[in-house]
Amino acid sequence: MSPLEAAKVLVVEDEFLIAADLESMLRKLGASEVRIELSIDAALTGLRERLPDCAVLDIGLREKTPEKIADLLLQQRVPFIFATGYDNALPLPDRLRAVPLVRKPVNAVDLEEAFARAFALVRD
């Protein structure tokens, strides 16, 4: 069974086509709802209203990192993964280095495996 079965997923990605592709993959993996936010501010506002079951965060959102979102999700014990197109060192603090990561272009197998690791981290 997929860790995404019936999950409500937040996707924070500033490239709409990439977000739409992620949404399609997440739905095929069993997600019941996918909410796309194109900016850090919009995502933070949405998180104040309701928490998702899990999330995908783009590391490079208009030259910013999603640290505030990640910290909020960590505090609430919401599993999440990072997605990146960067090949070099990730611009993230040490406290976020254990978060599973998928490389763009993302494929469904890597996405599902990363979420399995993210859910396991929250359970531990």
What CA–CA distance (Å, rounded) separates 21 from 55?
15
pLDDT at res. 89? 57
The beta-carbon contacts of 114-121 under 8 Å, at least 24 apart in sequence, are 114/81, 115/2, 115/3, 115/4, 115/29, 115/54, 115/79, 115/81, 116/3, 117/81, 118/3, 118/54, 118/79, 118/80, 118/81, 119/3, 119/54, 119/79, 121/79
Q: What is the pLDDT along the chain (124 residues), one digit of tens a residue?
A: 789 999 999 999 999 999 999 999 999 999 999 999 999 999 999 999 999 999 999 998 887 889 999 999 999 999 999 999 887 656 688 899 899 999 999 999 999 999 999 999 998 7
User: What pLDDT score does 67 carry?
Assistant: 94
pLDDT at 120: 96
pLDDT digits (tens, 9 = 90+) for 54-81: 999 999 888 788 999 999 999 999 999 9
Contacts of residue 55, defined as CB under 8 A and 6 or more positions apart, other chains included, come to 9, 10, 11, 12, 69, 73, 78, 79, 80, 81
| Domains defined along the chain, listed by start | 8-123 (3.40.50.2300)
Please tell me the predicted confidence (pLDDT) of residue 87: 74
Q: What pLDDT is recorded for position 57?
A: 97
